[in-house]
């Protein structure tokens, strides 16, 4: 595997415990597909499938060509898109025709400047169903994009200790639609 270590941003794939915690945040009753950003070797994908989400509901957006090949072999029923998760507008215009139920992100967001992180979260929220959620883990105890009650709702899970490194899961949701 010759993928760029800086882009990959993790020593090992996420643990099963973290994958379960991420998948548990997805409300499967919300209509729409589920987009995974930066699936890598598919450890979070496995958690989504184990939670009962069918492969046909998953779109995997991954930059690394070798990862895309591996994901295609492991999860042939998913839609795999090789591309840049920081260009969600282009991804949406090329691949989406309806709002997403959820975005599940394993991107190493803290490797990027705050303005870029914020743009990704806001662009992601724009693609969601009103009841949808954008789920991101980090190794930090602070959120990748700070709370902004004018722009989104933000919550977090307890820390998942059984992971290298211990991680926290952040859930960003669109503001409720006003009457």
Question: Where does this chain bind ligand SAM (CB under 6 A)?
Answer: 3, 7-10, 13-14, 38-40, 43-44, 61-64, 67, 84-86, 106-108
CB of 166 to ligand SAM, least distance (A): 14
- Give the C-alpha separation, 61 to 146, whole Å: 25
CB of 4 to ligand SAM, least distance (A): 7
DSSP 66-95: HHHHHHHHH-TTSEEEES-TT-HHHHHHHH
Q: Dihedral sign for Cα 117, 122, 128, 129, please.
A: positive
Q: In sequence order, which residues have a C-beta less than 8 Å from that of residue 149 and are 6 or more positions away?
A: none
Q: Which is nearer to ligand SAM, 18 or 125 (CB)?
A: 18
CB of 19 to ligand SAM, least distance (A): 7
Burial class (CB in 10 A: 0-12, 13-18, 19+), 178: exposed
Q: Which is nearer to ligand SAM, 40 or 124 (CB)?
A: 40
* C-alpha separations of 15 from 34, 41, 149, 152, 161 in Å: 20, 12, 31, 28, 10
Q: Which is nearer to ligand SAM, 64 or 124 (CB)?
A: 64
CB of 112 to ligand SAM, least distance (A): 9
CB of 27 to ligand SAM, least distance (A): 20
Q: Which is nearer to ligand SAM, 18 or 101 (CB)?
A: 18
Asked if residue 103 lies in contact with residue 35, where contact means CB atoms within 8 angstroms, the answer is yes
Q: Which is nearer to ligand SAM, 47 or 174 (CB)?
A: 47
- Give the C-alpha separation, 52 to 41, whole Å: 19
């Amino acid at each position: 595997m010759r993928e760029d270590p800086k882009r990959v941003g993790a020593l090992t794939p996420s643990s099963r415990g973290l994958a379960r915690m991420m998948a548990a945040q997805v409300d499967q009753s919300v209509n729409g597909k589920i987009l995974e950003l930066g699936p890598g070797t598919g450890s979070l994908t496995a958690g989504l499938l184990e939670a009962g989400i069918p492969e046909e509901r998953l779109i995997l957006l991954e930059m690394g060509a070798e990862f895309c090949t591996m994901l295609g072999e492991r999860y042939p029923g998913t839609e795999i898109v090789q591309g840049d998760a920081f260009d969600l507008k282009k991804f949406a215009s090329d691949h989406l025709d309806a709002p997403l139920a959820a975005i599940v992100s394993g991107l190493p967001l803290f490797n990027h400047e705050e303005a870029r992180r914020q743009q990704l979260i806001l662009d992601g929220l724009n693609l969601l169903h009103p009841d949808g959620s954008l789920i991101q883990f980090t190794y930090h105890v602070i959120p990748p994009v700070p709370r902004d009650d004018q722009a989104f709702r933000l919550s977090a899970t307890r820390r998942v200790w059984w992971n290298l490194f211990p991680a926290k899961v952040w859930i960003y949701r669109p503001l409720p639609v006003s009457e």
